[in-house]
Structure 1
Amino acid sequence: MKFEALLELVGDEPLFDTSLLLAGDAQRAKIQRQLARWQRSGHVLQVRRGLYSLAPPYRRRTPHPFLVANRMVKASYVSCQSALAWYGLIPEYTPVTVSVTTMRPAPGRLYLGSIVFGMSNQTSGLAIIWCR
């Protein structure tokens, strides 16, 4: 697959799965090898295993932090101050998107252009996921 074909296929999507590229008669090994090449050359950013975003010069839409937080960990929900601010229930500005899950996420940080992603486990059994 050529990079121009990828741009035509996922150019309007802020995030895309490898399953989208594997539709049809595509071979998994070739697609993974090509994605690795595009990562090294700076054309594609890996968000997590199987989830990618085009690099800033090539993407048409920047991923919204709510979308990134939700797609990073399945069964995670935007909540806390982020949800309250989104619905106008608090007057404060919230620069960080907070998402909560009962799953056990792996700690780490992700830098996706201007989005910083991280996780921290809480004693209440919930995991707080934040995007800035």
Structure 2
Amino acid sequence: METIDIKNHFKTPLFTHEMLSAFLEPSVSQVNIKIATMVKNGDLIRLKRGIYHLGKRYQSTPIDTISISNMLYTPSYVSFDFALSHYGMIPERVSEVTAATLNHPKLFETPLGRFSYKHIPKEAYALGVDWMYDENNGGKLIATPEKALCDKIRYDRGVGSMTQAQMKEYLVYDLRLERLEMLNVELILLIAHAYRSKNLRTLASLLQKGVNHG
């Protein structure tokens, strides 16, 4: 049993120890040793205990860090700065994958990058989360632009209670946000209610007026 057989069998380059074991057991007598050898040889990349990605020589498509983030820590969805960058709303390229979870905060340093998770309350968790699918990586969860921005504002420790003028300065000069006109104000209001956040209600009010006129 070779690594190329694993690649050809699984639809995605990301899989669990249980998935690998079930596939290898019919033809490999010592499955754990086989997996450890593949990791040592670089055929597989161990992201954390029980989670693996195909090694570089077997990667035929770009690494999907959103799918990796979802699988590393569940339940979770990608949000905050990484999602804002993904949508082209902030000019910076964000290398750390930032996500929201119902569990305790967590940080993973992996060979494929840094993945961090912030806890958010269950009342706000499911609002504004998109499920995306592609043939190479399967399904994945990411915040909508509205939810990513709301999560960012709600958990930015550097801001206090903001007036509309302060919110405008924060959006335009601190975050350097673009494409604000595409945001759904009604969804932001729902998220603001779930978070019980005055700042997010201020955000919605400012967007209703138009940031340029706020």
Q: Which has the higher helix share?
A: 2
Q: How big is the shift at 1:68?
A: 1.4
Q: Does 1:13 align with 2:12?
A: yes
Larger-gyration structure (1/2): 2
- Residue 71 of structure 1 corresponds to 71
Q: Does 1:99 align with 2:99?
A: yes
Q: How big is the shift at 1:105?
A: 5.0
List aligned pairs for 1:1-132, cutoff 5 A: 1-10=1-10, 13-23=12-22, 26=25, 30-88=30-88, 90-96=89-95, 97-104=97-104, 107-112=107-112, 116-119=113-116
Q: How big is the shift at 1:48?
A: 1.5
Contact 2:42 2:55 in 1 (8 A): yes
Q: What TM-score, normalized to structure 2?
A: 0.46
Q: What TM-score, normalized to structure 1?
A: 0.69
Q: Which amino acid aligns with 1:3?
A: T
Q: In 2, distance between residues paired with 1:111 and 1:43?
A: 13
Q: CA RMSD in A?
A: 2.9
Ranges in structure 2 where 5+ consecutive residues have no aligned partner: 121-214
- Residue 148 of structure 2 corresponds to none
Q: Which has the higher strand share?
A: 1
Q: How big is the shift at 1:74?
A: 0.6
Ranges in structure 1 where 5+ consecutive residues have no aligned partner: 127-132
Report percent identity of matched pairs. Answer: 21
Between stretches 24-33 and 45-54, larger displacement belongs to 24-33
